[in-house]
Chain A
Amino acid sequence: MDRLTEYLFPKQVSTFAQDIDNLFYFIFYTSLALLAIVTFGMIYLAIKYRFKKNDEVRLTSSTDHNSILESSFVIIPLILVSITFVWGIKSYLNMVTVPNDAIEIKVTGQSWFWTFDYPEGGSTLNELVVPSGVPIKIVLSSKDVLHSFYIPVMRAKMDVLPNRYNVMWFDARHEGIYPIFCTEYCGTGHSQMNAQVVVMNPKQYNVWLAEAGSEDDDLPLDELGAKLYSKKACITCHTLDGSPLVGPSYLQTSQMWGQERVFDDGSSATIDDNYIRNSILEPQSQIVAGYQGVMPTYQGLLNDRELDALIAFLKTLKEDSEI
């Protein structure tokens, strides 16, 4: 990668990234030439024919066309845009033709996090793990409003719709960790609806698949909870510093341990282990007064140990804040 590309673009990770950047350069340099003609032409004419202090106001020339000049203004741009068009379509066809041997990963967007389901059965949240050098087919759908799944280093983007599956694919050439953004506006947490793609070499990937999740087995509960808190996207809606975001701050809930929570229908309940568990698995059943029922259910996304961990972590917050 030359210096200019490094300056202008995110790293070229997918197989088609380079072709797309080259298409950019083609348009860029022709545009630069056209812009130079307009700019210098304009400056030259304006200065050459400027009205000087001692000039006399007079009738000016009646020239107002020149067939050769005008036809070249049509023909040259026509040739240039034809090349651009054909190139744009050719590269595009390459981007939509998914190789047959691609690994299929299901991506679900929901306000405001991403879930990734792997063919072998595992699932991750806000972290897409893929092997390098293998085509990956991404099948996208949304659980609520529109989102758009964008991986800048892959030069790939696709809208995520609630009522149909959209597909995109890429083949990553370089290992590393790269950002994923949501690029279709989806409300309060839109700009925090980020994830990562982790590109591993195929061997590591297989090891990862086999071990997925088990590495956490020996973490103490509260540490695991702290980890899950950001990994499972609680952090996009709940702060740890006491200020409300989309939902009440986790710290506030912790400090109110044992006290009454009032819900929007006027009922109330004591904040205890069962209440927290229920809030995570069935958030719509009791909606804290003053908030909206937008918390997604984590049914099926967290196992019992993970739920315990999140609760344990919640309890530690109160103690920490009292020190």
Chain B
Amino acid sequence: MSDNHHNNYLTYPKGIMSWLLTLDHKRIGLMYLFGGMFFFFLAGVIALGMRLALATPEADFITNDQYNSMYTLHGAIMIFLFIIPAIPGALGNILLPLMLGARDVAFPRLNLFSFYLYSLGAVFVIYTILAGGVDTGWTFYTPYSTSSTTNVIPMTLGIFIIGFSSILTGLNFIATIHKMRIKGLTWYKLPLFVWALYGTSLVQITATPVIAITMVLLILERLLGIGIFDPALGGDPVLFQHFFWFYSHPAVYIMILPAFGIISEIIPVHSRKKIWGYKFIAYSTLSIAFIGFLVWGHHMFTSGQSVFSQIVFSFITYFVGIPTGIKIFSWMLTMYKGQVSFTPPMLYALSFLFLFTIGGLTGIFLGAVALDIHLHDTYFVVAHFHYVMQGGTIIAFLGGLHHWWPKSFGAMYNQTIANICAIGVFVSFNGTFFPQFLLGLRGMPRRYATYAQEYADIHSYSTFWSGILGLSIFIAVVNLLWSLRKNNKLDPGTNPWGALTMEWTHTTSPPHPHNFEEEPVLTHGPYDYDKVLVKPTLKRK
């Protein structure tokens, strides 16, 4: 396979048009990856700017309005342009067909269309930034969002369009998982990453329409003065919150399930050990996806909803907690009697276990109604969701990136630097966000451009570590990109981790343009480390 000139998808076919019009899921995945990373960088820089402003109680070098616009953009970009589209769009696209032994996703043209919808939505968001930002918070609560004079319409329109990209990707993945598996690859032989994408996709196609409709209603209210949410026009602002969270709580699972999938792949490979409780993890993915639809009211414990609703929402919230908790124990126990290597992906996975556990447990505090009354809309909540979204999802994403980097690019980064960065991210993440729990307990409200003197010390401590956090992630990414330099290619046959999933055992790194040179035949399960031995190899060309 060596001197065949079109032996990998990166180099064949050539030319910019072959990328822009590609139907190859791997190339589309890479375009999502770079798009997502761009917005991750942008939203990260905005976050660092905010932390800098928060280092002292006064809004030093920015105005209140600028701060408000920054926190809105930070949240909206991270969620709608990076976390939600990037993991399924990038890693999901690159890996799903490979893991199924398929040539591509079920609808390759639709896949490219999804990417362009995402790009179009991104254009609206960039327009919003250039036109001066938007200051409603990523939650767009009415009636403030109806009356704000900032760019609410371009932003919500962007989110509306990106929503369709999510829905179509979800549809595509579901069809692919149902129809494109090779012979013998039954549901219980699927890698858990595939189960996770399946759960994610189900939520994407069922929940996303609700946010899309809500955004349209908001736009109509602003443009035509139709009273839906604004009481001045006869609407109800709490209705907006119900609509919004009916999507946005399930969206939490759109964001976290793929991360669960990544962790379920990394830990067995780097522990060279069969995964603990396969069926449990698979089913809990689906049950979390389902129960996730029934708990939205826990974001509204102070909105004045009825006592009965409060009790029901609190009760159901705890039911999401239990399957999640058992997953954590399963990942931990996977290492039992294995051969654990401290590679960069594994370090990220271990960080994930610790950070996500804190994220999950602090959710229990917030689910207890009486306590949530005190903590709601304070920094406790800010810390909680950063532990879940960054400590969980983004850490898992970084781990996945390091795990599949040699697969996607046929190049290996400097593993020592990567390990140091992984530890740096872990320490500085805790340094940044752990103190924010304390801020919240002490009553510091979120979304404040200025704050009382008593919170100053903790804030400046958090700001200090946020700088290190930014730096660690930045170096980690540069380290990855640096591996793409000339003359650093791996032998296409290398399997650096000794992994057993099909994308490692049945094709080259980087894969062939059509994924597999010949029809792949299923030879073993994804976690058969007790039956099949593949030695890790790291050969350079």
Contacts and interface: CB of A to CB of B under 8 A. Distances in A.
Interface of A: 8-10, 16, 19-20, 23-24, 27-28, 31, 34-35, 38-39, 41-42, 45-46, 49-51, 55, 57-66, 69-70, 73-74, 77-78, 81-82, 84-85, 87-96, 144-146, 148, 150, 152-153, 155-159, 161-164, 166, 179, 181-192, 194, 292
A46 B335 contact: yes
For the complex of A and B, the 4 pairs showing the least CB-CB separation, nearest first, are A152-B443, A88-B368, A91-B370, A163-B231
B143 A27 contact: no
Nearest to B141: A146
Contacts of A39: 354, 357
Contacts of A70: 277, 280, 326, 329
B482 interface: no
Query: Chain B interface residue count: which class?
Result: 35 or more
A206 B532 CA distance: 84
Contacts of B325: 34, 73, 77
Residue among B64, B135, B338, B445 with the most chain A CB within 10 A? B445
Interface in B67-87: 68
A258 B238 CA distance: 48
19 contacts: A34-B357, A42-B353, A51-B340, A59-B529, A60-B337, A60-B530, A61-B337, A61-B530, A70-B277, A78-B322, A81-B322, A84-B318, A91-B369, A96-B307, A156-B374, A183-B378, A183-B445, A191-B447, A292-B149
Given A64-B277, A70-B277, A185-B137, A92 B369 contact: yes
Interface stretch (B2-10, B124-132, B359-367): B359-367
Interface string B368-390: 11111110111000000000000
Interface stretch (B92-100, B308-316, B485-493): B308-316
A62 B274 contact: yes
A42 B353 CA distance: 8
Contacts of B113: none
B350 interface: yes
Contacts of A84: 318, 364, 367-368
Interface string B192-211: 00000000000000000000
Contacts of A92: 307, 310, 369-370, 373
Interface string B263-295: 000000001111111101000000000000000
A162 B143 CA distance: 9
Nearest to B533: A59
A34 B361 contact: yes
B442 interface: yes
A45 B332 contact: yes
B68 A57 contact: no
A146 B236 CA distance: 11
B148 interface: yes
B232 interface: yes
Contact of B448 (A34, A148, A190): A190
Contacts of B374: 20, 152, 155-157
B519 interface: no
A138 to B, nearest CB: 12
B143 A93 contact: no
Given A59-B529, A64-B274, A158-B304, A187 B68 contact: yes
Contacts of A28: 365
B451 interface: yes
Nearest to A80: B364
B443 A146 contact: no
A20 B357 contact: no
Contacts of B361: 31, 34-35
Given A57-B498, A159-B304, A164-B304, A181 B445 contact: yes
B273 A61 contact: yes
A156 B373 contact: yes
Contacts of A64: 274-278, 334
Interface of B: 64-65, 68, 135-137, 141, 143-144, 147-149, 231-232, 236-238, 271-278, 280, 302-304, 307, 310-311, 314-315, 318, 321-322, 325-326, 328-329, 332-342, 350, 353-354, 357-358, 361-362, 364-365, 367-374, 376-378, 438, 441-443, 445-452, 498, 529-533, 535-536
A182 B326 CA distance: 38
B354 A60 contact: no
A166 B307 CA distance: 13
A8 B438 contact: yes
Contacts of A20: 370-371, 373-374
Contacts of B273: 60-61
Residue among B364, B378, B531 with the most chain A CB within 10 A? B364
A51 B341 contact: yes
A215 to B, nearest CB: 27
Contact of B336 (A63, A93, A189): A63
A55 to B, nearest CB: 7
A85 B278 contact: no
Nearest to B234: A163
Given A85-B318, A146-B237, A157-B373, A60 B441 contact: no
Contacts of A58: 339, 533
A87 B438 CA distance: 22
B445 A10 contact: no
Contact of B148 (A35, A155, A161, A187): A187
B143 A145 contact: yes
Contacts of B236: 163
Nearest to A28: B365
Given A159-B303, A187-B135, A292-B149, 14 more contacts: A19-B370, A24-B441, A31-B365, A42-B335, A42-B350, A49-B337, A59-B531, A70-B277, A77-B321, A88-B369, A158-B304, A161-B304, A183-B377, A191-B450
B123 to A, nearest CB: 27
Contacts of A158: 302, 304
Contacts of B378: 183
Contacts of A62: 274, 530-531
Contacts of A24: 365, 371, 441
A19 B519 CA distance: 65
Nearest to A156: B373
A277 to B, nearest CB: 27
A73 B449 contact: no
Contact of A93 (B307, B438, B451): B307
Nearest to B438: A8
Contacts of A157: 302, 373-374, 376-377
Contacts of A42: 332, 335, 350, 353-354
Contacts of B147: 144-145
A10 B449 contact: no
B530 A46 contact: no
Contact of A89 (B339, B369, B530): B369
B238 A161 contact: yes
A65 B281 CA distance: 12
Nearest to B353: A42
Nearest to B328: A38
Given A50-B340, A64-B277, A181-B443, A95 B237 contact: no
Nearest to A166: B304
Contacts of A188: 64-65, 68
Contacts of B441: 8-9, 24
A187 B149 CA distance: 10
Contacts of A166: 304
Contacts of A182: 445
A73 B276 CA distance: 13
A10 B311 contact: no
Contact of B144 (A63, A185, A191, A194): A185
